[in-house]
Chain A
Amino acid sequence: MSETAQSNHTEKKDFLVRSSSLKDVRTFCREVFEKLQIEQNLKDELVLAIAEAAQNIVKHAYKDDPKTDDKMVVQISCKDNKLQIGFYDMGTPVDPNKVKHREIDNVKPGGLGTFFIQEIMDAVEFKDGKKPWINHLVLTKQL
């Protein structure tokens, strides 16, 4: 638990849906978590989880449209020591029932991003995207 996390804080930023944006997503997260004074180990884990979720948007929701000019939004909120990260995109609708990681003992490339997200976060929830958004993913973590 981070004792210094601020009680109420929200920031959001949009990013072009491209793999080249992932570095910018991480930079944004690190800056916000710096303000929230989240300790380094947890910060590294959270940045990984968020970057994996953003990567999933690029890799899956926009699989058929890799040169899109669409943007995705990442919103980080901290309220009463509960961190909530929202992702909004206008890609292919995600079927939550099909979002599964590979069996961890079946070692092969791929299928680890969702596993990392689930390991790091307390909850992963797909919500109905409100126009203009198609997908709305919410990750939560109690600090």
Chain B
Amino acid sequence: MSYKVTEDGNIATIHLDGEIDMDVTEKAKEVIFPHIEAGKEVHLNLSNVQYMDSSGISVLIESHQKALEKNTKVIIKDVSKSVLKVIMMAKLEQILNLE
């Protein structure tokens, strides 16, 4: 998994790239969580993530819940069809902020 972060004011845009599985979830958390903990609105662009398993879904849930605690939000953008299918299988499409 690789990533790119850009910041514009209070918005941190994080582009993840690759496959998100148990092996990379700690790295994904290290990339995402500090921005949430700093109170930033996080735009998580998943257009280049073609595979995500339950571990990756857990990172999305944990990010969403941390953001609520910090009175901010995580917006998941440009999710690929294959990852959207997994999000829907977990019945999270109404819970997570998808754009």
Question: In the complex, how many angstroms separate the beta carbon of B16 from the nearest chain A beta carbon?
Answer: 15
Mask, A12-30, CB within 8 Å of B = 1, is 0000000110110010000
**Complex Cα–Cα for A44 and B86 (A):** 10
Which of A76-84, A91-99, A109-117, A135-143 forms contacts with chain B?
A109-117
User: Which chain B residues border A23 with CB–CB below 8 Å?
Assistant: 19, 21, 23
Q: Which B64-92 residues sit within 8 Å CB-CB of chain A?
A: 65, 82, 85-86, 89-92
* Contact call A115/B62, Cβ cutoff below 8 A: no
**Complex Cα–Cα for A51 and B57 (A):** 14
Which of B7-15, B30-38, B47-55 forms contacts with chain A?
B47-55
Question: In the complex, how many angstroms separate the beta carbon of B55 from the nearest chain A beta carbon?
Answer: 7
Task: Tell me, yes or no, whether A11 is within 8 Å of chain B by CB.
Answer: no
Q: Taking A22-B21, A104-B90, A119-B89 as contacts, is the C-beta distance between A51 and B53 under 8 angstroms?
A: yes
A-B contact pairs, 26 of them (CB 8 A): A19-B22, A19-B23, A22-B22, A23-B19, A26-B21, A26-B51, A48-B51, A48-B53, A48-B86, A51-B21, A52-B54, A59-B22, A104-B91, A107-B92, A107-B95, A108-B61, A109-B58, A109-B61, A109-B62, A112-B57, A113-B55, A116-B53, A116-B86, A116-B89, A116-B90, A119-B89
A-side interface residues toward B, CB under 8 Å?
Answer: 19-20, 22-23, 26, 41, 44, 47-48, 51-52, 55, 58-59, 104-105, 107-110, 112-113, 115-116, 119
Having A23-B19, A116-B54, one finds 19 other A-B pairs with CB under 8 Å, namely A20-B23, A22-B22, A26-B51, A51-B21, A52-B54, A55-B21, A58-B22, A59-B22, A105-B91, A107-B95, A109-B65, A110-B58, A112-B57, A112-B58, A112-B90, A113-B53, A113-B54, A115-B54, A116-B90
